[in-house]
Structure 1
Amino acid sequence: MGIRAAVCEHHGPPETVTVRDTARQQIGDDTVRVAVAFAAVNFPDVLVVADDYQISVPTPFTPGSEFAGFVTEVGARVEEYAVGDRVTGTGLFGAFAQEVVTDSHKLSPIPDGLPARLAAASGVAYRTAHHSLRSVARIRKGDPVVVLGAGGGVGLAAVAIGHALGAEVIAVASSPDKLAAARRHGARHLVNHREVDLRSALKEIVPRGAAAVIDPVGGDLTEPALRALGRGGRLVTVGFASGEVPRIPLNLVLVKGVQILGFQFGDIAPDEFDRNEEELRTLITSGQVVPHIGAEFGLDETAAALRMVADGRAIGKVLIRVGGCGP
């Protein structure tokens, strides 16, 4: 018996992804079969489909890097999960399908009381934002923090988490709707970079300079945001959703005494990583941070979901609704 899955037969735009019946994967001794309830769409999924990501995935493959669901089968050596357990998981591909077979160490239990849709929405983007703020930008209560792309997945997560951690969040986005969402999630200042000069606007809001910038966008927004940092400030580059890697005048780094830092999960020290994961779990389960789900699509609409993210029209997280929520 097969399953329904989104399939990228050849690299290209989101519309190259189709949904069809595929063969079920065999389960191994150290793997777990998960019935997918919801999958989340992230910008890297678009890049993987287009073969523009730093890792090339041979076709055909099922895209999707993040899912939530429940365990339906466990391998002979798996002890930490049992049939019926609710779990989330991440990987480079494979999530946009009715079920996923994955190594058990790539899974995490869904906390009691947290719906599967919120678990799917609070994974990669919220973890990226939280680790960036806590362990890379190292923000403190009261710090002015500029968030670029504040309406997108990582950006809106950074707004909400930054606010919960006590930062003074300056949200920069491209539309009134995205800025309205940022305000609802705690942004104190709003800047539409398509309507004003970003450098001037940020100088007016934080004349003494920001403590940090979270940048998942790149392109022509990075330099004016860098200029908005105060002495010793930190710009954390998370990605390049604009499609353009910025060229930074290094004299700004020298003169202002600022730091430009890249984010990678593997760069976080293990003790800090565990602390951050527990802190984020508490923020979400307590309701201090509520993941923003801007749109939901059915599995057959996977290409449309990818297109929304590719075009920068998504506000917060985009989910693909695959199946039931299980036990």
Structure 2
Amino acid sequence: MRAFVVTELGTPPIGEVREIDEPRGSHEWADGRRLLIDVHATGVSFPDVLQSRGEYQHGVPVPYVSGGEVAGTVLEAPVDSRLRPGDRVAALTLWGGMAERALALEQYTVKLPDSMSFVEGAALQLNYSTAWFALYRVGLRAGETVAIHGAAGGVGTATIQVARALGAKVIALVSTAEKENTARGAGAEYVVRTESGWVEGIKDLTDGRGVSVVVDPVGGDRFTDSLRALDVGGRVAVVGFAAGTIPTVKVNRLLLRDLSVVGVALAPYIERRPEIAELMSRELGQFAASGRIAPHVGNVLSLTDGGEALGVIDRREALGKVVVRVR
């Protein structure tokens, strides 16, 4: 089968299309439960870039097939699974997704409604799971206001839609007019540009109080300023460090205004509480079927351009999700 293989670690674009054997056995994280997907499209995300540099905590050694999530049809599933051959699904793979067939994780697989294309489905699992889990961890409630950094990217647009589906108000934080249009298209009621004075912009929109929740996949100085943007009792969800700098916090800031900083790491949490994966997949499936979430795809590339797909994210040029069309 054809697959996009990263042969050596480095800065994207790297890698090439090769003919390789079809996957055997089960996914390394699947406890022997074989779920094989006939892949139509593959979603590309920031963890794929980190993995190509050798910086991802769940990375695998080279050579490896890139691609952390897929959309396609089920070819094989365990006999006692809720999934059946022929089901249209979006699934998490962590690696191996940029190939004609891939092994996936059953607990992180969502059935796609007929109204959703495979290209859209490839933008569903990782970003929307991250968005759902971030908002779950901070206990977002209907009626609260959430500010979202990097709101024009894949995780950002997903978080806008999930927050709206949960009944929250959304302030999108973006850096350019083009990204503002993307965030508004994803459903953000309000947009604040981050070139200067974005904390004051948030305060202006909230009568000086600040927001209940900030979702931060950027890190760096953004995180420190996010604490200033919170209302009393507010929470920051730490999703990642796309800025490349891991921030620190003086805990007296948390004490004086009753603030919380919550890490968002899905895998170890699900390992302790596997029932949360079922809840997440069920809710995301319901949101997709009802049209409350609709993945925003910004770039669609061919399998031979897999390295450029990684490069688009590495250069922070993505508007919405980056997807590789496999078939």
TM-score, length-scaled by structure 1: 0.89
SS in 2 for 1:54: coil
SS in structure 2 of the partner of residue 214 of structure 1: strand
- Alignment of 1:300 with 2:300, yes or no, is no
2:57 alignment partner in structure 1: 54
Alpha-carbon distance in 2 for matches of 1:253, 1:243? 24
**Which residue in 1 is equivalent to 2:155?**
154
| 2:36 corresponds to | 33
Counterpart residue type for residue 118 of structure 2: A
- CA–CA separation in structure 2 for the residues paired with 1:90 and 1:119: 11
SS for the counterpart of 2:324 is strand
Preserved contact between residue 71 and residue 87 of structure 1 (Cα < 8 Å): yes
Name the count of aligned residue pairs.
317
2: distance between equivalents of 1:55 and 1:219?
22
Residues 295 and 146 from structure 1, CA distance in 2 versus in 1: closer, same or farther, beyond 3 angstroms? same
Residues 26 and 143 (structure 1), Cα distance of their counterparts in 2 relative to 1, 3 Å cut: closer
Q: Is the 8 A contact 1:238 1:263 kept in 2?
A: yes
1:316 and 2:320 correspond: yes
- Secondary structure, counterpart of 1:31 in structure 2: coil
Q: Which residue does the alignment assign to 2:228?
A: 227
Q: Residues 305 and 146 from structure 1, CA distance in 2 versus in 1: closer, same or farther, beyond 3 angstroms?
A: same
- 1:116 aligns with 118
Matched, 1:125 2:133: no
* Structure 1: 5+ residue stretches without partners: none
Q: 1:290 aligns with which of 267, 281, 294?
A: 294
Partner SS for 1:274: helix
CA RMSD of aligned residues (A): 2.1
1:104 Cα shift? Answer: 5.4
Structure 2, unaligned runs of 5 or more: 27-31
Q: Does the CA-based 8 Å contact 2:41-2:326 persist in structure 1?
A: yes
Query: Following the alignment from structure 1 to structure 2, what is the Cα–Cα distance between the partners of residues 8 and 300?
Result: 12
Task: Return the alpha-carbon distance in structure 2 between the equivalents of residues 39 and 172 of structure 1.
Answer: 27
Deviation at 1:65, TM superposition (A): 0.7
* Residues 1:261 and 1:32: Cα distance change in structure 2 (over 3 Å): closer
The answer on whether the counterparts of 2:163 and 2:170 sit within 8 Å (CA) in structure 1 is yes
Counterpart-to-counterpart distance in 1, 2:94 and 2:276: 24
**How has the CA–CA distance of structure 1 residues 164 and 87 changed in structure 2, closer, same or farther, with 3 Å as cutoff?**
closer
Matched ranges for 1:229-308 at <5 A:
229-265=230-266, 266-267=268-269, 269-308=273-312
SS at match of 1:285: helix
Q: What is the identity percentage for the equivalent residue pairs of Structure 1 and Structure 2? A: 34
The one-letter code sitting in structure 2 at the alignment partner of 1:264 is A
| 2:100 match | 98
Give the drift of 1:79.
4.7
Q: Which residue of structure 1 aligns with residue 16 of structure 2? A: 18
2:7 alignment partner, one of 6, 9, 12 = 9
Tell me which amino acid in the other structure corresponds to 1:204: D
Residues in 2 aligned to 1:152 and 1:198: alpha-carbon distance in whole angstroms: 18
- CA spacing shift, 1:211–1:23, aligned 2, 3 Å: same
By how many angstroms is 1:238 displaced? Answer: 0.6
1:100 match: secondary structure: strand
* Deviation string, structure 1 residues 70-100 (Cα, Å, up to 9, x no partner): 234x37x645354433233212210011111
Q: What is the CA distance between 1:143 and its match in structure 2? A: 1.0
Q: Would the aligned equivalents of 2:210 and 2:229 in 1 still touch at CA under 8 Å?
A: yes
SS in 2 for 1:15: coil
Residue pair 1:40, 1:121 contacting (<8 A) in 2 also: yes
- With normalisation by structure 2, the TM-score equals 0.89
CA distance in 1, matches of 2:154, 2:63: 27
CA offset digits 1:215-247 (Å, max 9, x no partner): 111111111111111111110001111111112
Instruction: Give the secondary structure class of the aligned counterpart of 2:231.
Output: strand
2: CA distance between counterparts of 1:255 and 1:93?
Answer: 43
C-alpha change, 1:208 and 1:302, in structure 2 (3 Å) is same
Deviation at 1:270, TM superposition (A): 4.7
Q: Secondary structure at the match of 2:13?
A: helix
- 2:38 touches 2:100 (CA, 8 Å); kept in 1? yes
2:22 and 2:276 mapped to 1: Cα distance? 38
Q: Deviations over 1:160-207 (max 9, x none)?
A: 22123222211101211111121122222211112x222322232221
The 1:83/1:254 distance shift into structure 2, 3 A limit, reads: closer
SS at match of 1:275: helix
Q: 3-state DSSP class of the match of 1:233?
A: strand
How big is the shift at 1:16? 2.2
